[in-house]
Copies of this chain bind each other. A is one copy, B any other.
Amino acid sequence: MEHNINKHISGRFNEELESVRNHVLSMGGLVEQQLNSALDAVSNGDAELARKVRENDYKVNAMEVDIDEECTRIIAKRQPAASDLRLVVAIAKTIADLERIGDEAERIAKVALDSFTKDQQDLLVNIENMGRQVSRMLHDVLDAFARMDVQKAFEVHKEDAKVDREYEAVTRQIMTYMMEDPRSIPKIMDLVWSVRSLERIGDRCQNIAEYIIYFVNGKDIRHTSQADIEKSL
């Protein structure tokens, strides 16, 4: 189900909304690239790529500030109502979550700066798998945002429970490893943080899914059970 956002009268206003939406999608693309680079850096122990992720984070931050200003300018100048206002609000919230996903990607990339023994590499594989799962979730929610597709947003919303289960499993495995090889704890803690970061990215994708549903349906579904959300769609 796609939502028609081109229904108000002012053509110029239309262009402005279209432009801010495109900026969000560019920002989303950059954040996705940051996350994937971070995961690649970890997979390949590529310190160079990890540094690049770190260096590029300022671009994500700058985009958030710019889009935020754009939103405030639109509200002040166009005084949007109803669904236009909801769109601007949804965008302002979405970019805040995207910016934090960028921060998490930077944290994850740090793992690439450590070196791991063969045993520890096994832990990395699980983190990589969880990373790909979360990266797909980010891709899907950006796709849902681009088309303002509530059904797809709801799919992403449900996906987060799987990420949480994966998080529990991987964390348990890492703890077992630490118990068997306590000297490795300081290094292995970096893995713990990166798994936590992935779990948080899942939460933030879920947030973005909620903003999409809020925009399209006009209903704030935060803190609502999934069964109740499904009923409302």
Interface residues, chain A, with chain B CB atoms under 8 Å away: 58, 61-62, 64-65, 68-69, 72, 75-76, 79-82, 85-86, 89, 92-93, 96, 171, 175, 178-180, 182-183, 185-186, 189, 192, 196, 220, 222-223
Instruction: Give every chain B residue within 8 A of A189 (Cβ-Cβ).
Output: 171, 175, 192
Given contacts A58-B223, A96-B96, A185-B175, contact A75 B85 (CB under 8 A): yes
**Number of copies of this chain in the oligomer?**
2
Q: Does A223 lie within 8 Å of B178, measured CB to CB? A: no
User: A83: shortest Cβ distance to chain B, in Å?
Assistant: 11
Given contacts A175-B186, A180-B182, 12 further A-B contacts (CB under 8 A): A65-B223, A68-B220, A69-B220, A72-B85, A79-B79, A92-B92, A178-B182, A178-B185, A179-B182, A179-B185, A182-B182, A189-B192
Instruction: Give every chain B residue within 8 A of A85 (Cβ-Cβ).
Output: 72, 75-76
Q: Does A65 lie within 8 Å of B222, measured CB to CB? A: yes
Closest to A66 in B: B220
User: A211: shortest Cβ distance to chain B, in Å?
Assistant: 11
12 contacts between A and B (CB under 8 A): A68-B220, A72-B86, A72-B89, A75-B75, A76-B80, A76-B85, A79-B79, A93-B96, A178-B182, A179-B183, A179-B185, A182-B182
Instruction: Give every chain B residue within 8 A of A96 (Cβ-Cβ).
Output: 93, 96
Q: Does A65 lie within 8 Å of B179, measured CB to CB? A: no
Instruction: Give every chain B residue within 8 A of A178 (Cβ-Cβ).
Output: 178, 182, 185
Closest to A200 in B: B200
User: A87: shortest Cβ distance to chain B, in Å?
Assistant: 12
